[in-house]
C-alpha cells in the first residue's frame, strides 16, 4: 500500500507573520484530518521558523530546491546537507518554474536529485509537458525523456527512493487542472516507464500537481496511480489545504 502524500509548495509567498499564522492553523487542523503524510515547502529563509512551528506534529518540512554540489563556492545555492542539518526531509527538484524561468536543464536537475539523496533528503522530482507539447501529442515523449535523464545519472535504485510529481505546465497556476482521467493516464505511463528502468515502480509515490483544489481532490486521489498532490496556491489557504488533506485517505 502506498501512503498518500500531500505537499504544499508555497513558492515565493508569505512573510514571517503570515507563515506563522498559516502554520498555527495547519498544526491545529491536521490533528483530525486523516492519516496522509503531509509536507510543506516554505521559501528557504523561513525553513527554520517552520521546522520549529511543526515540531511535534505530523507535518514534515522540505525545500523548494537544493544545491547540485556539496559545499563550496556556489553563490546563492543551499546545499543538501545544510537543509538536512535543519531537519528538512525532502527537496523539490526540476519544478517547471525552475526549468522555464531559471533555465535549469535536465542535467542540472539530475545533479540536484543526486545531491539531495547523498545527504539523506528525498527528492520530489517534477516532470511535465507544456501546452504546445500536449497539443502536439508529445506528452509521453517529453515526460519519458525527463525521467530518462535522471535515471541515467542516478540509476534505478535511487529513482525508486524518490517521489515523482507530474505537473503539466499548462495546469500550474492557471485554474485549469488536468482532469483526473488525464492525470491518471500520465501517472500510469510514468509508473510503467520507471519500471522499464528497473525501478520498483509499484512502491513509488506519484503526485499530481497543477491547480489542485479541495473540490476535485477526492476524484484525483481515487485514481489508482495518483498517490497524492503537490499543491501550490491552495496550500497557502489553511482551510483549503486541510480539506485537500482530508480527502487523501
Residue list 9-68, contact with ligand 13P (CB under 6 A): 9
**Piece of 50-58, 81-89, 151-159, 204-212 that binds ligand 13P (CB under 6 A):** 204-212
42, 168, 180, 209: which one binds ligand 13P (CB under 6 A): 209
Q: How far is the CB of 71 from ligand 13P (least distance, A)?
A: 27
Q: How far is the CB of 181 from ligand 13P (least distance, A)?
A: 19
Q: How far is the CB of 207 from ligand 13P (least distance, A)?
A: 9
Q: Is 173 in the site for ligand 13P (CB under 6 A)?
A: yes
Choosing from 167, 187, 193, 240, the catalytic residue is 167
Supply 2's cell numbers. 502506498
Residue with the CB atom nearest ligand 13P in the bound state: 232
5, 53, 172, 242: which one binds ligand 13P (CB under 6 A): 172
**Piece of 15-23, 32-40, 108-116, 229-237 that binds ligand 13P (CB under 6 A):** 229-237
**Piece of 76-84, 153-161, 166-174, 185-193 that binds ligand 13P (CB under 6 A):** 166-174
Q: Can 197 be counted among the known catalytic residues?
A: no
Report how far residue 37's alpha carbon sits from residue 6's, in angstroms, rounded to the nearest whole number.
Answer: 6
Q: How many residues bind ligand 13P (CB under 6 A)?
A: 14
Supply 136's cell numbers. 502536439
Q: Is 211 in the site for ligand 13P (CB under 6 A)?
A: yes
Q: How far is the CB of 196 from ligand 13P (least distance, A)?
A: 26
Q: How far is the CB of 230 from ligand 13P (least distance, A)?
A: 5
Q: Is 212 in the site for ligand 13P (CB under 6 A)?
A: yes
Determine how many CB atoms are found less than 10 A away from the CB of residue 237: 17
Q: What is the 3-state secondary structure (H, E, C) of the chain?
A: CCCCEEEEECCCCCCHHHHHHHHHHHHHHHHHCCCCEEEEECCHHHHHHHHHHHCCCCEEEEECCCCCCCCCCCCCCCCHHHHHHCCCCEEEECCHHHHHHCCCCHHHHHHHHHHHHHCCCEEEEEECCCHHHHHCCCHHHHHHHHHHHHHHHHCHHHHHCCEEEECCHHHCCCCCCCCHHHHHHHHHHHHHHHHHCCCCHHHCCEEEECCCCHHHHHHHHCCCCCCEEEECHHHHCHHHHHHHHHCCC
Q: Can 28 be counted among the known catalytic residues?
A: no
Catalytic amino acids?
95, 167
**Can you give the binding site for ligand 13P, defined by CB under 6 A?**
9, 95, 167, 172-173, 209-212, 230-234
Amino acid at each position: 500500500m502506498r501512503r498518500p502524500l500531500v505537499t504544499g509548495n508555497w513558492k515565493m509567498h508569505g512573510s514571517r507573520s503570515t507563515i506563522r499564522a498559516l502554520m498555527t492553523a495547519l498544526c491545529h487542523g491536521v490533528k483530525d484530518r486523516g492519516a496522509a503524510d503531509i509536507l510543506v515547502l516554505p521559501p528557504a529563509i523561513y525553513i527554520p521558523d517552520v521546522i520549529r512551528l511543526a515540531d511535534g506534529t505530523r507535518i514534515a518540512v522540505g525545500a523548494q530546491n537544493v544545491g547540485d554540489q556539496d559545499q563550496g563556492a556556489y553563490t546563492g545555492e543551499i546545499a543538501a546537507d545544510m537543509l538536512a542539518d535543519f531537519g528538512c526531509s525532502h527537496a523539490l527538484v526540476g519544478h517547471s518554474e525552475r526549468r522555464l524561468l531559471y533555465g535549469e536543464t535536465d542535467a542540472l536537475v539530475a545533479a540536484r536529485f543526486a545531491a539531495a539523496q547523498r545527504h539523506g533528503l528525498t527528492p520530489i522530482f517534477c516532470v511535465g509537458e507544456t501546452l504546445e507539447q500536449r497539443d502536439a501529442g508529445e506528452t509521453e515523449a517529453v515526460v519519458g525523456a525527463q525521467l530518462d535523464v535522471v535515471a541515467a545519472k542516478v540509476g534505478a535504485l535511487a529513482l525508486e527512493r524518490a517521489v515523482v510529481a507530474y505537473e503539466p505546465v499548462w495546469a500550474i497556476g492557471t485554474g485549469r487542472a488536468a482532469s483526473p482521467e488525464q492525470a491518471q493516464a500520465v501517472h500510469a505511463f510514468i509508473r510503467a516507464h520507471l519500471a522499464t528502468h528497473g525501478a520498483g515502480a509499484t512502491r513509488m509515490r506519484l503526485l499530481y500537481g497543477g491547480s489542485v483544489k479541495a473540490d476535485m481532490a477526492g476524484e484525483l486521489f481515487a485514481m489508482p496511480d495518483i498517490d497524492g498532490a503537490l499543491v501550490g496556491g491552495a496550500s497557502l489557504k489553511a482551510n483549503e489545504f486541510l480539506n485537500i488533506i482530508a480527502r487523501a485517505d
